[in-house]
Amino acid sequence: MKKKIVTLFISLFLLGACGSEKVSKENMVPSNKIVVRITQDPDFLDPHKAVAAATGEILFNVFEGLIKIDSNGDLYPALAESYKVSEDHLTYTFKIRKGVKFKNGVELTPALVKKSYERFLDDAFPANRIANEFKKISKSIEVNGDEVIFELKNANATGIAAFMVGIVYEENNKIYGTGPYYIDSYLPGEKVIVKKFNDYWNISEVGNIDAVEFKIIKDDQSAIMAFQMGEVNIIHRLFAGYEDMIGKNSKLIKGEQNLVQLLAINNNAEPLNNLKVRQAIQYAIDKKEIIEGASLGEASIVGSASSPIVKSIYNKDTENLYLYNIEKAKELLKEAGYPNGFELTLKAPSNYQVHVDSSQIIKEQLAKIGITVNIQEIEWGTWLSEVYKNRNYELTVIGFEGKPSPYTTFSRYMSKDKRNMINFSNNSYDQILRKISTENSDDKRIELFKEAQEILTKNVASVFLQAPNYIVAINKNIDGFKIYPCYVLDLSLLNLKK
Amino acid sequence: MFLIKKIISSFLTLFLVSLISFTVLKVIPGDPLLSKLGTEATEQQIETLNKELGLDKPKYLAYVDWISDVSKGDMGESIRFSVPVNNLIKKRMGVTMNLALLSMGITILIGFPLGLFSAMINKKRGSDIISTINMIGVSIPSFWSGLILMMIFGVYFKVSFKGVSLFLPALTLALSRISITSIYLKNIILEELNKDYVKAAVAKGRNKNNVIVTDVLKNIMLPMITIISGLFVKILAGSVIIESLFNLPGLGNLMVLAVENRDFPVVQALVLYSSIIVISVNLFTDLLYCYVDPRIKIS
Amino acid sequence: MKKIKKNLLIGVGFFVILIIVIIITKLFSPYEVTQINISNKLTSPSVHHFFGTDKFGRDIFTRIMEGGKIALYVGVLSIFIGLLVGCSLGMYSGYMGGRIDEFIMRIIDAFMSFPGILLALMMITAFGAGTANTIIVIGIINIPHFTRLSRGETLKEKDKNYTLSAITRGAGTFWIIKNYIFPNIRGKIIIATTLSFGVSILTEASLSYLGLGVQAPYPSWGSMLRESQIYFISSPWYALFPGVFITLTIYSSNLLGEYFREKYNSKG
């Protein structure tokens, strides 16, 4: 009897062990495959719908636009061979490159370019912001021989960058791109696998990586362990705290990131609607301490809503408008009528360690001027609906990604913009943004952006804290990784040394 | 007759479970679309997707729709991942089942002999030590022991053999159940020792331990099955934390993800399936008891 | 007998010592629970900091003791909820019998077929995280156990002769519950209470570990464990102490449970 029992349980044991063997066999590695860690699932594997910057990083390798961006942030014609812009900036003519194939073998034609644009211009299509903004200004699209001609309703704030939208070919509810890699499979919650497209029109410029697995690992700790064990080859957006853990076979690449973290202030909530109160808060914040404590020094101070990485428009003067000054802070608070301070609630999104940590430091800093901050850590889903959508909060800490077009970054703070979670309302600001959207001269536009930053900071729309650095942990045998000044992970540059 | 009654009451419980989970989920602040789209979505996207996914319907209608779909076996589509829920579950079921089976194997392999042994040496010298070890074992939180194991095997001794990715989590899960399992078994054996036939055998001069092995074990098959079925359910529950800790693509991990993303269809399907499993296991155990011992039907 | 008394000694002893140290720490600790000192972060245990400092330079010993206070607080209150609601419900259900009993037990069964952590997860996400909600949620999870227990005992007592004669004499429901049913359940309830206490502590730690229980910057042992994971290799003491204390607390509850089981039960 006992023997039977033992046999039963040993077989249970083996069953489990065998089952796991099957799992590992599925992961047999073909030549030149690397694993890149990402933190969450892509939202839509469709460049016209995709919202998250992280999704865009993957899609950059699969779908291409008429214009592409390079590692210096410069724009160059990709699917377009060349282009002309009319004097009044209302007509863009693109000569379409020949010999470009979509993944399913169909050849790219001007007609298909037009079709791809018309796909998201349809009202019933859930188009993302970039596509939507194009929709607002598009008047007509015509095909003429090997050219596609876009007529715009008014001048375009983003300039040629608007044409970075990916070109897709749709058939039977599947979409195909022209990029150097294609999406091979997607296992929700686990991974996205892309493989090299061997008929890519510019194949000679692509490195030797045949397949890339984007492994979804939410938790930083597990990601580091996977990296140490060789299961992951690249971790980008590594948290500074893990730098010493990457091991001898790997190197770190650092750069700036187009991401701004802010202490978001609800401008409609009492007593935060009082400018003096907001100014007092700004004076009491020591950004350096936050960078040290929450980002371990790996970040740059920001003065306003844009990251310093956007060199062309970044207004460095804004950094000095409110230098750390406890005395001034206390004075202003008194002037505003709160000599004894008051209580505030800070709703921090619990899934972002850097924001949670920053909140705790801010709490201690504001305590010094008599403001008691109660931190409520809430999880992401609740944060999105309570804080972001319903704007039911006083303070929160969040980061906003910068877009290739700075206009999209700044338009958030216009009074009527649906993303204006801080309830900032300033007529001059609205006016300036409106001017930018119709401005043709690049120089004038830059001036206007700098003005906009000044208004945001002077009026303490919120306290803009830091732009955390972009840190990549990568195995030493992978060459070619370049950091882009925007959310791009360019796989075509990579080469695996044997 | 009794059988039918039992089955009906199980269905009733199932219905209640689905109602409770549905109600609770609809009360949750936060909507799944926002969770999927984040802070950069356009209004148009939200509107069109709301309509597409039928999220703008009133709650009772939505519940009725869901019930009618479910009875056809259609669990709907995951809002976050845009794939059919059943596909998601099918792909991940293997991992969780493997984890559960492996954990159960380890638990039984170590826990049962341990329980047997502690029953045999009960009240003798070594039994205190074993009790103490078991007590401590029961008290250690699994996410702590998992962390320690990860560090030991993942970093200090870089172990690598086939199936290691599943072995560590299974071991962690097993560790949390071994102690309680051995305690249960020991208690059952000790209770059985009070029975007449055992006392008679010992009085006749047979060695007590010998009696345990040859006769008692045979007679406690039923309680052992209860232990095993209870173990199965507890291990499935434990997989929620363990899968998150070890980042395994199983059902427990899916549950956590789905709750975070307010992915109602997935949460409801998982709640329903896990309840079905628990209820079935209980039903099966009850039926087995009835089959073996008809006297029990009356209670 | 001596072995059993030992359980009581250790179990009660641990809690008494813990509470005393918590009180002493609250009164005399030179450090605030949330006081940040970044330049002093991640130092190993020393005379100044018995348990070292965490990633913000906060004194771990002070935080562990505060975490202890929170754990006891959450544990006791949630047990209280479970006990009160659970026993009332169970005794009522058992006593009334019939349809009402069926209905109540049906719902209880439904709740019990949910693995506890799943239920907690769902409820926390519905009502929000935080200490108050954690107490309520764990309380709700504790209810079914107490309900089943008290209902079972009530059923047993209901049909006994002295109960029936009391009813014919005109005794009220409450009187019967107080004088006949309750004294017989008392032992089992105490056992269930101590064991559920351990479970509550574990559930609270698990929820806080997942980020859904007690919120930062207030220290729960579970959330401290979560924070410390990153630093396990470089600063192992950080993760050591929360885990040790969780284990010791649950262990002591179980010891007490063992003691009461021996005391009130012949069979165990």
pLDDT of residue A284: 95
Q: What is the DSSP letter of C1?
A: -
Interface contact A375-C35, CB threshold 8 A: no
Which class for B299: exposed (0-12), middle (13-18), buried (19 or more C-beta within 10 A)?
A: exposed
pLDDT digits (tens, 9 = 90+) for A126-135: 888 888 888 8
Report how far residue C168's alpha carbon sits from residue A97's, in angstroms, rounded to the nearest whole number: 99
> In chain B, positions 212-231, which contact chain A (CB-CB < 8 Å)?
213, 217-218
pLDDT of residue A123: 84
pLDDT of residue A492: 92
Interface contact A12-B104, CB threshold 8 A: yes
pLDDT of residue B73: 81
DSSP code per residue over B107-143: HHHHHHHHHHHHHHTTTSTTHHHHHHHHHHHHHS-HH
B285 interface with A at CB cutoff 8 Å: no
Report how far residue B104's alpha carbon sits from residue A13's, in angstroms, rounded to the nearest whole number: 8
Residue A188, preceding peptide bond in cis (omega within 30° of 0): no
Report how far residue C88's alpha carbon sits from residue C171's, in angstroms, rounded to the nearest whole number: 19
pLDDT of residue A5: 52
Report how far residue C205's alpha carbon sits from residue A82's, in angstroms, rounded to the nearest whole number: 62
* Cross-chain CB nearest to A1 (options B39, B165, B218): B218
Three-state DSSP string of chain A: CHHHHHHHHHHHHHHHHHHHHHHHHHCCCCCCEEEEEECCCCCCCCCCCCCCHHHHHHHCCCCCCCEEECCCCCEEECCEEEEEECCCCCEEEEEECCCCECCCCCECCHHHHHHHHHHHHCCCCCCCHHHHHHHHHEEEEEEECCEEEEEECCCCCCHHHHHHCCCCEEECCEEECCCCEEEEEEECCCEEEEEECCCCCCHHHCCCCCEEEEEECCCHHHHHHHHHCCCCCEEECCCHHHHHHCCCCEEEEEECCCEEEEEEECCCCCCCCCHHHHHHHHHHCCHHHHHHHHHCCCEEECCCCCCCCCCCCCCHHHHHCCCCCHHHHHHHHHHHCCCCCEEEEEEEECCCHHHHHHHHHHHHHHHCCCEEEEEEEECHHHHHHHHHHCCCCCEEEEEEECCCCHHHHHHCCCCCCCCCCCCCCCHHHHHHHHHHHHCCCHHHHHHHHHHHHHHHHHCCCCEEEEEECEEEEEECCEECCCCCCCCCCCHHHCEECC
pLDDT digits (tens, 9 = 90+) for C218-267: 788 988 888 887 777 778 888 889 999 999 999 898 888 888 877 776 44
Average pLDDT over residues A367-376: 91
Whether the Cβ atoms of residue B219 and residue B192 lie closer than 8 Å to each other: yes
pLDDT of residue A22: 43
Q: What confidence category does residue B29 fall into, taking pLDDT thresholds of 50, 70 and 90?
A: low
User: Which chains sit next to C, with 3 or more Cβ pairs under 8 A?
Assistant: A, B
Interface contact C114-B267, CB threshold 8 A: no
Q: Give me the percent of chain A exceeding a pLDDT of 90.
A: 57
Please name each of the domains of chain B with its CATH number: 93-292 (1.10.3720.10)
Nearest-10 crossing angle of helices C131-158, C182-209: 150
Report how far residue A243's alpha carbon sits from residue A155's, in angstroms, rounded to the nearest whole number: 46
* Cross-chain CB nearest to A379 (options C211, C216, C234): C211
Interface contact C198-B139, CB threshold 8 A: yes
Superfamily name with CATH number, domain A32-41+179-249+476-496: Periplasmic binding protein-like II (3.40.190.10)
Interface contact B139-C247, CB threshold 8 A: yes
Q: Which CATH number fits domain A63-176: 3.10.180.10, 3.90.76.10, 3.40.50.970, 3.30.70.1710?
A: 3.90.76.10
Distance from chain centroid for Cα A55: 9
Strand pairing partners for A170?
A: A175
C243 interface with A at CB cutoff 8 Å: no
**Alpha helices for B121-250 (secondary structure H):** 127-139, 142-149, 164-193, 196-203, 208-211, 217-219, 221-246
Give the residue from chain C lying closest to A358, CA to CA: C56
Which residues of chain A are in CATH 3.40.190.10 domains? 32-41+179-249+476-496
Interface contact C110-B278, CB threshold 8 A: no
CA distances to A402, A424, B278 from A411, in Å: 12, 11, 53
pLDDT of residue B197: 79
Q: What confidence category does residue A1 fall into, taking pLDDT thresholds of 50, 70 and 90?
A: very low
pLDDT of residue B298: 44
Give the CA angle between residues C25, C28, C33 to the nearest 5°.
Answer: 55
Residue C137 has pLDDT above 50, yes or no: yes
C215 interface with A at CB cutoff 8 Å: yes
* Amino acid at site A404: P
pLDDT of residue C268: 38
Which residues of chain A are in CATH 3.90.76.10 domains? 63-176
Average pLDDT over residues A267-278: 93
Q: Give me the percent of chain B exceeding a pLDDT of 90.
A: 12
* Cross-chain CB nearest to C216 (options A220, A356, A379): A356
How many CB atoms are closer than 10 A to CB B217? 18
Token digits of residue A446: 């830059």
Average pLDDT over residues C119-134: 75
Q: What is the DSSP letter of C230?
A: G
- Say which residue, A290 or B216, is predicted with more confidence: A290
Interface contact B109-A10, CB threshold 8 A: yes
Residue A6 has pLDDT above 50, yes or no: yes
* Cross-chain CB nearest to C230 (options A241, A292, A382): A241
Average pLDDT over residues A203-228: 87
pLDDT digits (tens, 9 = 90+) for A79-88: 999 999 888 8
H/E stretch holding C239 reads helix C236-264
Average pLDDT over residues A45-52: 90
> In chain B, positions 155-214, which contact chain C (CB-CB < 8 Å)?
155, 187, 190-191
Residue C4 has pLDDT above 80, yes or no: no
Residue B68 has pLDDT above 70, yes or no: yes
pLDDT of residue C79: 93
Whether the Cβ atoms of residue C226 and residue C220 lie closer than 8 Å to each other: no
Instruction: Report the SS3 class of residue C159.
Output: coil
* Cross-chain CB nearest to B24 (options C123, C247, C255): C123
Mean pLDDT in chain A? 87
pLDDT digits (tens, 9 = 90+) for A92-143: 999 999 999 999 999 999 999 999 999 998 888 888 888 888 888 888 999 9
Token digits of residue A422: 């801080």
CATH of domain A259-469: 3.10.105.10
pLDDT of residue B191: 81
User: B25, B33, B34, B40: best mutation site toward chain A, by most A Cβ within 10 Å?
Assistant: B40
B281 interface with C at CB cutoff 8 Å: no
* Cross-chain CB nearest to C129 (options A220, A244, A377): A377
Q: What φ, ψ does residue A375 adopt, rounded to 5°?
A: -90, 130
A415 interface with C at CB cutoff 8 Å: no
Interface contact A241-C217, CB threshold 8 A: no
| ipTM at complex level | 0.78
Residue A71 has pLDDT above 80, yes or no: yes
**How many residue pairs bridge chain A and chain B with CB atoms within 8 Å of each other?**
164
Interface of C with B (CB under 8 A): 3, 106-107, 109-111, 113-118, 121-123, 125-128, 198, 202, 205-206, 209-210, 222, 225, 229, 232-233, 239, 242-243, 246-251, 254-255, 258, 267-268
- Say which residue, A254 or C264, is predicted with more confidence: A254
Average pLDDT over residues B230-249: 86
Give me the long-range contacts of A474-477 (CB less than 8 A, separation at least 24).
Answer: A474/A233, A474/A234, A474/A235, A474/A236, A474/A250, A474/A251, A474/A252, A474/A253, A475/A34, A475/A233, A475/A234, A475/A249, A475/A250, A475/A251, A476/A249, A476/A250, A476/A251, A477/A249
pLDDT of residue C194: 87
* Selection from A379, A385, A304, A387 nearest residue A345 by Cα: A387
B156 interface with A at CB cutoff 8 Å: no
Whether the Cβ atoms of residue B122 and residue B185 lie closer than 8 Å to each other: no
Report how far residue A239's alpha carbon sits from residue A251's, in angstroms, rounded to the nearest whole number: 14
Which residues of chain B neighbour A190 with C-beta distances below 8 Å?
A: 249
Whether the Cβ atoms of residue C86 and residue C144 lie closer than 8 Å to each other: yes
pLDDT digits (tens, 9 = 90+) for A178-189: 999 999 999 988
Average pLDDT over residues B291-296: 65
Interface contact A351-C211, CB threshold 8 A: yes
Nearest-10 crossing angle of helices B221-246, B164-193: 150
pLDDT digits (tens, 9 = 90+) for C165-214: 777 777 777 777 777 777 777 888 888 888 889 889 988 888 888 777 77
Interface contact B150-A10, CB threshold 8 A: no
Q: What confidence category does residue A10 fall into, taking pLDDT thresholds of 50, 70 and 90?
A: low
Q: What confidence category does residue A325 fall into, taking pLDDT thresholds of 50, 70 and 90?
A: very high
DSSP code per residue over C83-113: HHHHHHHHHHHHHH-HHHHHHHHHHHHHHHT
Q: Give me the percent of chain C exceeding a pLDDT of 70.
A: 92
* Cross-chain CB nearest to C251 (options B28, B139, B282): B139
Please give, rounded to a whole number of angstroms, the shortest distance from the CA of B83 to a CA of chain C. Answer: 22
- In the numeric block, the tokens 């345990």 are attached to B212
How many CB atoms are closer than 10 A to CB A22? 11
Return all residues near A389 (Cβ < 8 A) that are at least 6 apart. Answer: B34
